[in-house]
C-alpha cells in the first residue's frame, strides 16, 4: 500500500531495511526491537491524544491507553524494584530534563562526568539546556587506569556542595560504584541522579548492578540493550513521584505517545523473561570477547576492557584517528561511533554488541569481526571490497528478523 501511495518514502524504508540487514550494526545505542514492539508502534494507538496520566487525562476515550500505560508502569517498577516509574519521556534526554526540573532550579550547581571524559550532552554541554540553565562542575577518569577518579569526585563535591550529582556516561565501559556515589551525595546533601540510559537493559537482565536502590532518580532509555522502542523512562522513590510526574507533564512535555508507551510495555514484558536474562549476559560476554580480540589486533582499549555492552578504543596504534577509522569501517559495512579519548588527543571509536547479539551472533563471530576491523582500516581498495563482501556474508547468515 505504501509503495502505491508514497513510493518515495517506501523506497527510503526499503533502503534502510537493507542497510540494517547488510551491514554490521555496532552502534552501542542501537538494537533491533522484536516484531511485537514494531507492531505496536504501528498500531491504532498512534492516533490517540492522551495528555495527563491514567485516570486524569485531558481528553476523552482514554480507557484503553490508560490500561496500556498502567501495564508499562507496573512492569517497570517490578522489573527494576522501583517504587515509582514514569514511562512518558520521549527520549533519554527528555528524561534527564524532567529529572533536573523535578529536583533543581536554574543556577544550581551539578556535578557530572566531563564531556571529554564520556559525559552526555545533558551533563553540562553549553550547546544543551543543561549547560545553559545549571552550573556544571565536571569530574573525570584517572589518566592511568581510565577508571572514574572517585577521590576527585569526593573532593569536588566537598568543595562545590552541588545540589545534585549525576552518575552516568555514554562511553564508560565499566560499572559505576553506585554505593560510593550515594555516600558522596549524602555527605554533601546532594540528590543522586543516575543516568542509566546505556546499562539499564543489562540491569533488567541481571548483567549489571541496579542503580535504583541508590539513586533518588534514575533516568533511562527503552531502546539500546533493553531492545524496546526509542524513548525514555524515569524511576524514582515514592517521595519524589509527584514531583517527577509533574516535571514530565505538564512542565516539559505535552501529550504522551501512547503507541510508544504500549511498545515500552511489550519490551518491559520481554525483558522480564529468562530468555532476556540469558541475552543480557551474552551481550556482556560478547563485548568482552570482542574487546580482547580488538586488543590483540592492536587497538588500545580504554580502561583495558569492558564490563558492559560497550567498548571504547583508540585506533591510533594502527595508524588512524577515530574519525578516519569510522569512515573506513563504514565504507566496509561496519557501523559504529566515535568518542572522546580522556587525557588524549583526537577521538577514539565506540561500539557495542547488543544488536549483533540480538541477531544471534556468538563468540566466534566476535573474533571474526575484530579481524575485519583491522583489514578495513588498511587503505587498500581491494581490501575494502573484500571486507565488504565478508561483512555481507556474515550478516546474511544472521538476518535481524530471520530468513
- Give catalytic residue positions: 49, 51, 195, 221, 224, 230
C-alpha cell at 191: 540528590
In this structure, are residues 235 and 102 in contact, taking their beta carbons and an 8 Å threshold? no
Sign (positive or negative) of CA dihedral 296, 297, 302, 306: negative
Please state, in angstroms and rounded to a whole number, the distance separating the CA atoms of residues 134 and 382. 52
With residues binned 3-state (H G I as helix, E B as strand, rest as coil), the percentages for the chain, rounded to 5, are 50, 15, 35
Q: What values do phi and psi take at 162, rounded to 5?
A: -70, 155
- Pick from 308, 290, 282: nearest CA to 369: 290
In this structure, are residues 148 and 122 in contact, taking their beta carbons and an 8 Å threshold? no
Please state, in angstroms and rounded to a whole number, the distance separating the CA atoms of residues 188 and 385. 57
Contacts of 358 (CB under 8 A, 6+ apart): 31, 32, 227, 279, 400
Eight-state DSSP code of residue 169: -
Amino acid at each position: 500500500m505504501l509503495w502505491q501511495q508514497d513510493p518515495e518514502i517506501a523506497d527510503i524504508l526499503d533502503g534502510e531495511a537493507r542497510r540494517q540487514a547488510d551491514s554490521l550494526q555496532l552502534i552501542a545505542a542501537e538494537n533491533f526491537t522484536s516484531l511485537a514492539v514494531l507492531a505496536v508502534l504501528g498500531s491504532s494507538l498512534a492516533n490517540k491524544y492522551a495528555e495527563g496520566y491514567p485516570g486524569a487525562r485531558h481528553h476523552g476515550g482514554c480507557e484503553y491507553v490508560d490500561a496500556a500505560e498502567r501495564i508499562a508502569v507496573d512492569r517497570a517498577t517490578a522489573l527494576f524494584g522501583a517504587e515509582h516509574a514514569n514511562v512518558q519521556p520521549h527520549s533519554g534526554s527528555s528524561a534527564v530534563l524532567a529529572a533536573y526540573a523535578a529536583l533543581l532550579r536554574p543556577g544550581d550547581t551539578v556535578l557530572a562526568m566531563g564531556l571529554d571524559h564520556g559525559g552526555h550532552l545533558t551533563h553540562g554541554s553549553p550547546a544543551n539546556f543543561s549547560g545553559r540553565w545549571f552550573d556544571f562542575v565536571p569530574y573525570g577518569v584517572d589518566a592511568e587506569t581510565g577508571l572514574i577518579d572517585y577521590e576527585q569526585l569526593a573532593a569536588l563535591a566537598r568543595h562545590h556542595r552541588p545540589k545534585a550529582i549525576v552518575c552516568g556516561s555514554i562511553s564508560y565501559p565499566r560499572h559505576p560504584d553506585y554505593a560510593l556515589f550515594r555516600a558522596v551525595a549524602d555527605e554533601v546533601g546532594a540528590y543522586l541522579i543516575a543516568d542509566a540510559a546505556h546499562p539499564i537493559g543489562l540491569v533488567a537482565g541481571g548483567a549489571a548492578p541496579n542503580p535504583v536502590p541508590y539513586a533518588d532518580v534514575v533516568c533511562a532509555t527503552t531502546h539500546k540493550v533493553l531492545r524496546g522502542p526509542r524513548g525514555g523512562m524515569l524511576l524514582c522513590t515514592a517521595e519524589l513521584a509527584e514531583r517527577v510526574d509533574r516535571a514530565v507533564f505538564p512542565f516539559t512535555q505535552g501529550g504522551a505517545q501512547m503507541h510508544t508507551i504500549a511498545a515500552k510495555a511489550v519490551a518491559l514484558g520481554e525483558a522480564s523473561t529468562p530468555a532476556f536474562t540469558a541475552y543480557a549476559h551474552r551481550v556482556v560476554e560478547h563485548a568482552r570477547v570482542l574487546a580482547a580480540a580488538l586488543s590483540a589486533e592492536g587497538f588500545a582499549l580504554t580502561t583495558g576492557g569492558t564490563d558492559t555492552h560497550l567498548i571504547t578504543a583508540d585506533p591510533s596504534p594502527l595508524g588512524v584517528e577515530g574519525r578516519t577509522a569510522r569512515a573506513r569501517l563504514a565504507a566496509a559495512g561496519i557501523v559504529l561511533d566515535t568518542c572522546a579519548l580522556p587525557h588524549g588527543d583526537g577521538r577514539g571509536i565506540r561500539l557495542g554488541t547488543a544488536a549483533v547479539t540480538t541477531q544471534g551472533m556468538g563468540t566466534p563471530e566476535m573474533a571474526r569481526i575484530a579481524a575485519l576491523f583491522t583489514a578495513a582500516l588498511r587503505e587498500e581498495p581491494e581490501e575494502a571490497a573484500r571486507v565488504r563482501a565478508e561483512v555481507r556474508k556474515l550478516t546474511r547468515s544472521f538476518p535481524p528478523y530471520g530468513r
